[in-house]
Amino acid sequence: MSNLPADASHALEERFRLLLEASPAGVILVDREARILLINQRVESWFGYSRDELIGQFIEVLVPDSVRPHHIPLRDGYLRAPTVRPIGSNRDLHARRKDGSEFPCDISLHPLPQKDDDDLQVMVHIVDITERKRLEAERRQQESHRRLRFMIDNLPAGAVYVSDQTIAANRATEGITGYSRQELRTIENWFTQLFGDRAAEVQAQYNADRALRFPATRTLEIIRKDGQRRWIEHAAYGDDQHEVWLLHDVTERIRAQYQVVQGERLAAIGEMMTALAHESRNALQRSQACLEMLEVDLESQPEALDLVRRAQRAVDELQRLYEEVREYAAPLRLELQESNLRELWMEVWSNLAPSIGTKQIAFHDDCPFVPAASVDRHRFCQVLRNVLENSIAALPSAGGIVSVTSLDARLHGKPALQIAIRDNGSGMSAEQRARLFEPFFTTKARGTGLGMPIARRIMEAHRGEIELGPAESGTEILLRLPMATT
């Protein structure tokens, strides 16, 4: 450069200065003692120092306090044998600003040509990689979230994430509930869709559990989108901002437990009734014989004769009670045969005509087509009779309407037929709805309260189910029977 004319040398130096200032990297020139000789504008901007503050300072002024003691011997070692190389390979490097804050950076060293050792100068290139680190962290987080979403979405258990009244459900939750993620996107939708008229009650329990940080796992009955009732175990974990729910469909376990308990209960009732009937039969027969003899002797005494006949009816009722309880407890043996279901309910309705009396009751058969089904005709007619008798009893003396409709349905994930029997009476109270299938619960003046429990046993023996329909006007009973698949 010294061989160039002065003007040319000055122009070249000016060009070098412009290139240095325009560099996207920070450039620092240090001597062999590691004192700063020159910096560019990028260094001023990143570090917060002016040129005058840095010129003449040791390079360590830009090194974080935590690593400064270790840096000096490494620096001296490099200056004894300088080479072009990056520093801190496989390590995260940071530089220190004037205010003490730090930022991540890449650093490379470039020794300049020299006449002798005393003229050694090293150009330090620094690149602020804060944005690159941020983007890398963002990509890692996105990838982590993607893997987490994939894992959660493919869990065999239902998983729900809750934040600010919004929920995100996985694929298994869609399978358990029958609803899509979009349909279950809010807390309100969750409770309204899955719990129907019990939504407010279940949500109140959820709010109480949430206030206590979910102290217990709950077993809840839900209504799937297709109308099936299923049982789920609901375990929740959360803080003030976020919640995670884990859901397991335990319907089959609940049913198995119910069947075991029900079987044990029925066996105990059966044993008791067998012993009771054996001990009581002779006494009841003697009572009936004595009452028949009294009836002959008291023909001329109407008032006494009326008392005798009341006693006879009481004995008959007691015998009927024994028979109903015995039938409820006895094992069910079905004789299945392909049957026309419409013929069965029309036959049952016809046989119930005497119990209608003076009530003006219309019977509507709203079924354009009813497929045949494999049922025990006698037992299924018993179910229909119990349901239709209740409908007749529920209607006022002025009468009303009893209707039967049918449609295709799903039962335990398989094709089924649903038969709905509805009346337009006054409906049932909350207690009656809750206890409808409970043995010995009845609101009738006469009756054992075993009609609907027996109906449930018969439907379950057919691998079907019976349940109450929605709590609207009147009462609706739903019967579901599995259909054979070809």
- Model confidence at 3, in pLDDT bands (50, 70, 90)? low
The residue among 271, 300, 329 that closes a domain is: 329
Residues 436-445 have pLDDT tens digits of 888 777 766 6
Per-chain mean pLDDT for the chain: 86
- Model confidence at 180, in pLDDT bands (50, 70, 90)? very high
Place of tokens 């003396």: 397
Q: What is the 3-state secondary structure (H, E, C) of 128-176?
A: ECHHHHHHHHHHHHHHHHHHHHHHHHCCCCEEEEEECCEEEECHHHHHH
The whole-number pLDDT of residue 190 equals: 95
| Same-domain pairing of 350 and 322 | no
Asked if residue 271 has pLDDT above 70, the reply is: no
Q: For the ranges 46-50, 282-286, 467-471, which has the lowest average pLDDT?
A: 282-286
Residues 296-352 have pLDDT tens digits of 878 788 888 888 888 888 877 777 776 766 666 667 788 999 999 999 999 999 999
The one-letter amino acid code at 445 reads: A
In a domain, 259, yes or no: yes
Contacts of 246 (CB under 8 A, 6+ apart): 157, 158, 159, 234, 235, 236, 237
Which one has a higher pLDDT value, 284 or 247? 247
The whole-number pLDDT of residue 471 equals: 63
In a domain, 289, yes or no: yes
Residues 84-105 have pLDDT tens digits of 988 866 788 999 999 999 999 9
- Model confidence at 381, in pLDDT bands (50, 70, 90)? very high
The whole-number pLDDT of residue 304 equals: 83
| Same-domain pairing of 263 and 304 | yes
The whole-number pLDDT of residue 428 equals: 86
The whole-number pLDDT of residue 370 equals: 87
In a domain, 383, yes or no: yes
Q: For the ranges 102-111, 195-204, 276-285, 463-472, which has the lowest average pLDDT?
A: 276-285
Asked if residue 58 has pLDDT above 90, the reply is: yes
Asked if residue 225 has pLDDT above 70, the reply is: yes
Asked if residue 149 has pLDDT above 90, the reply is: no
Answer whether 457's CB lies under 8 Å from 446's CB. Answer: no
In a domain, 231, yes or no: yes
The whole-number pLDDT of residue 275 equals: 67
Asked if residue 127 has pLDDT above 90, the reply is: yes
Task: Check which CATH number belongs to the domain holding 239 and give it.
Answer: 3.30.450.20
- Model confidence at 53, in pLDDT bands (50, 70, 90)? very high
The whole-number pLDDT of residue 94 equals: 94
| Same-domain pairing of 276 and 346 | no
According to DSSP H, which parts of 362-436 are helical?
377-394, 430-435
Asked if residue 453 has pLDDT above 50, the reply is: yes
Which one has a higher pLDDT value, 112 or 472? 112
- pTM given for the model: 0.48
- Label residue 475 exposed, middle or buried (CB < 10 Å: 0-12, 13-18, 19+): buried
Number of domains in the chain: 4
In a domain, 416, yes or no: yes
- Model confidence at 413, in pLDDT bands (50, 70, 90)? confident
| Same-domain pairing of 290 and 225 | no
- Model confidence at 1, in pLDDT bands (50, 70, 90)? very low
CA–CA distance, 184 with 160 (Å, rounded to integer): 10
| Range of the structural domain that residue 237 is part of | 154-249
The residue among 217, 249, 281 that closes a domain is: 249
| Same-domain pairing of 49 and 75 | yes
The whole-number pLDDT of residue 232 equals: 95
The residue among 249, 276, 302 that closes a domain is: 249
E-strand spans in 274-433? 337-339, 361-365, 373-375, 400-411, 414-423
| Same-domain pairing of 277 and 359 | no
The whole-number pLDDT of residue 329 equals: 66
Q: What is the DSSP-derived secondary structure letter of residue 340?
A: -
Joined together, the tokens standing for residue 438 give 């409970």
| Same-domain pairing of 215 and 309 | no
CA–CA distance, 374 with 167 (Å, rounded to integer): 43
| Same-domain pairing of 172 and 269 | no
Joined together, the tokens standing for residue 162 give 């809750």
Which one has a higher pLDDT value, 460 or 450? 460
| Same-domain pairing of 267 and 213 | no
| Same-domain pairing of 263 and 174 | no
Asked if residue 388 has pLDDT above 60, the reply is: yes
Determine what percent of the chain is predicted with pLDDT higher than 90. Answer: 45
